[in-house]
Structure 1
């Protein structure tokens, strides 16, 4: 029997589909400028002619599949499936991946911004406490102790009498400058701590809450009195005010560190690693679409996303990098999420180094 007639059987339908697929690949090769041997083209075109006539001889079928294999190897990694991906499906996938990346970027920006602001405020509070502690010690030494048993100079309120006993001989201008610096530091610390308290849902109670808690002395506590009749009394008032403000600021600082410190240390590395994975997926998507090798598959993206989450968690829990490049941990997390393969290769090398530690070196080969 020299040939067979194409009938709607499973094998014949597969052959017909393969012939149609070969024509699509052949047209792509012609448009892309990929050189295909003449013998391969002749075998493919002849099979298409035989299919149109309804009869494909067995020898031509064998020649067709051999030519089809040659054509597929020449145009790889482009396949029939990647050529036939509709533009609408491509746009849908791009829109979905783009929206995911934008949403994740917004979350990262919000958390990073809040973390940066709260960290800056906390550092400002800590620096203010350090400076105010030095000023408080120096002022106390400069003004000296009040008269034993007297409470007139140990509280806040209008001064009606000069200091008793009088202040030691000192530079009044320098003392006034220190008092002014002390009062300004207290006001700055209170203002910063009040703003930072907003980020922790007002957990702590400010010395100014409820309004009037300091009574009519609120202004005297926070500002330097213009008359300065008794600089000892004003110094003791500012020190008492500072102690109340310091307690409030330290509590707010601890609350902020507990919340946003944990976010910066554990959540943000995971988010940055996921953002790196999204950036890689978008870049890979763009490259594949341009090269006509894109095939929609959620499994690869899902696997990379899970791997990026794992990488971010590892970076947040362990200092696994010898960060000689001077990169911040969040930058390292982004790069590791973008290139998870390189990160896992690093871990493999690290595991091998630990496994070989303590083992005797192999004996040198004899000359």
Structure 2
């Protein structure tokens, strides 16, 4: 049954008595402005649209003036018999917007109708037993909503049926059975899948980087430990060999000097020197890798803390110039600009490599006014020891940087990332289960997932505070205590209240003074008042009587 149109609304917008017909104001050649016959549903649609406008006025729903005017013009054209396609198009466009705004008989009821339809669809698809009378009540309610014939009887029957339908499809509820919930679940799965992939790549990259850093740090520690011992042994052997060469040189015994080059101590020195130089180059290579890493981070190249910094283009550990050799144009003809081996790739190569033959007298350079002596055969070994001191300083400094970065990443960054990744894994499992069971709630699940991620990040930040406790220890750091206090702040303040009560107990109230027998105010103790040590006054001693009303005198000695 359609809603009847009120006379006031039906006549509103119609042309006046002296107004010329609409056809006189339009050209007869325009097909859209000529007389036409409205469709069979126009009358019912006009009545529905007018009822929607009336309902909007009652419920305070805002409508545009253009839409209301379009409906009024359509009513006037229908009553006057001048309906055309232009008026019809404007009317139905306005009716669509009005219906979307008003949502008869109410926005909440329209939403409940959609939710009930979703629950019925879910129950039918998953084999839930639904009463046909409940489905019939829902169908009647939807028909009444579309026909604008909603009434209290239909509403009561609908909500009673909706309650039984909701009970039949438990644990699925209205919000989780609709298309919005399914789309929200798919969107959440995409978001947390991408987050898990990104976190996995980041965690794997950092883990690989930390593995390499730990390997380099371990290698540096082992090489430094071995070379520290070998440096002292090699130094003593070189000194002994230099003394032997000096004694043979004093005797002018060239054969003895040549024989010393292949003696048993010399062979041992050569082996030690070769191993020592190899360790130097390995240690320098480790420092070069760390220097490349620090340079890429903008921290600059690794440099010995005991020497002045080199020019940016001269440093052999500079990332751009770390692989320059003596074949570079700047070093043609052996011309170098600095005597510091760390600032000159050509010199660095010479001091790191072994010059053959070992323990032999160096060749004199052309024009050298101070030619080398036989004792200078051991200078190459002392040079390697001196270079090792610089490399050792750089290696230990680089190792400290590595350990600091590894400690920070391992102690703070990686736990947060792993906790976040674990939260994503748990959320993805929950989303998979919710999607299969149609229990994903568009709002509650979103809030729960965000809270899960936030809690996981907090746990990742604070888990390092309990490392000793997790390893079986009994000590808890003050930071861990602070975290626990923040987590249970109400319990902490209860503990503080008890502590304050124990340290500062409440003051006891003063004892009340006894009231006077005559009802007057209590007298303060004094000369005329009762005393704590004095007995009752003599005047207040009651006289007891004997049987027969014989007076009893005062006690003896009174």
Return the TM-score normalized by structure 1: 0.68
Question: What SS is found at the alignment partner of 2:358?
Answer: coil
Matches within 5 A, 1:84-163: 84-86=178-180, 89-145=184-240, 146=242
Answer yes or no: is 1:194 the counterpart of 2:251.
Answer: no
When the two chains are superposed, the root-mean-square deviation of aligned CA atoms in Å is: 4.1
CA distance in 2, matches of 1:168, 1:50: 111
Matched, 1:303 2:460: no
TM alignment of 1:20-35, pairs within 5 A:
21-35=115-129
Aligned to 2:134: 43
Task: Give, in whole Å, the separation in 2 of the partners of 1:227 and 1:179.
Answer: 12
Matched ranges for 1:1-367 at <5 A: 13=106, 18=112, 21-36=115-130, 40-46=131-137, 48-49=139-140, 52=143, 54=149, 65=159, 67-86=161-180, 89-145=184-240, 146=242, 170-201=264-295, 202-205=300-303, 210=315, 213-214=340-341, 217-230=347-360, 232-297=378-443, 298-319=446-467, 322=470
* Residues 43/127 of structure 1: CA separation in 2 closer, same or farther (3 Å cut): same
Which structure: greater helix fraction?
1
State whether residues 266 and 317 of structure 1, in contact with CA within 8 Å, keep that contact through their aligned partners in structure 2.
no
Alpha-carbon distance in structure 2 between the residues aligned to 1:49 and 1:220 = 98
Give aligned pairs, total. 309
Max Rg structure: 2
CA deviations over 1:74-99 (Å, ceiling 9, x no partner): 42332222222346555444433333
Deviation string, structure 1 residues 266-303 (Cα, Å, up to 9, x no partner)? 11211221122122222222322232222233322221
Q: CA deviation at 1:258?
A: 2.4
CA deviation profile, 1:49-85 (whole Å, cap 9, x unmatched)? 4664657775x86676455334323423322222223
Matches of 2:141 and 2:315, distance apart in 1: 94
1:179–1:235: 8 Å Cα contact kept in structure 2? Answer: yes
Q: Does the 8 Å CA contact 2:138/2:162 hold for their aligned counterparts? A: no
User: Which blocks of at least 5 consecutive residues in structure 1 are unaligned?
Assistant: 1-6, 151-159, 325-343, 356-367
> CA offset at residue 183 of structure 1?
0.9
Alignment partners' CA distance in 2, 1:227 and 1:189: 24
CA contact (8 A) 2:173 2:439 kept: yes
Distance verdict in 2 for CA 1:163–1:17, change over 3 Å:
same
* CA–CA separation in structure 2 for the residues paired with 1:219 and 1:284: 61
In structure 2, distance between residues paired with 1:174 and 1:292? 80
Which consecutive unaligned segments of at least 5 residues does structure 2 have?
A: 1-51, 60-103, 247-253, 317-335, 361-376, 473-483, 496-558
Q: Using the TM superposition, give the Cα deviation of residue 220 of structure 1 relative to its aligned residue in structure 2, in angstroms.
A: 4.1
TM-score normalised by length of structure 2 = 0.47
Distance (Å, rounded) in 2 between the aligned partners of 1:75 and 1:123: 62
CA contact (8 A) 2:185 2:431 kept: no
Shift of 1:191: 0.5
Shift of 1:189: 0.6
Quick check: 2:138–2:161 contact (8 Å CA) kept in 1? Answer: no
Instruction: State which drifts further: 77-86 or 299-308.
Output: 77-86
Distance 2:255 2:347 in 1: 18
Q: 1:304 offset after TM fit, Å?
A: 1.3
CA distance in 2, matches of 1:138, 1:167: 18
Deviations 1:191-247 (A, max 9, x none): 111111122223422699535632665344212232113564333222111111101
- Secondary structure of the 1:318 match is helix
**Partners of 1:90 and 1:286 in 2: CA distance:** 9
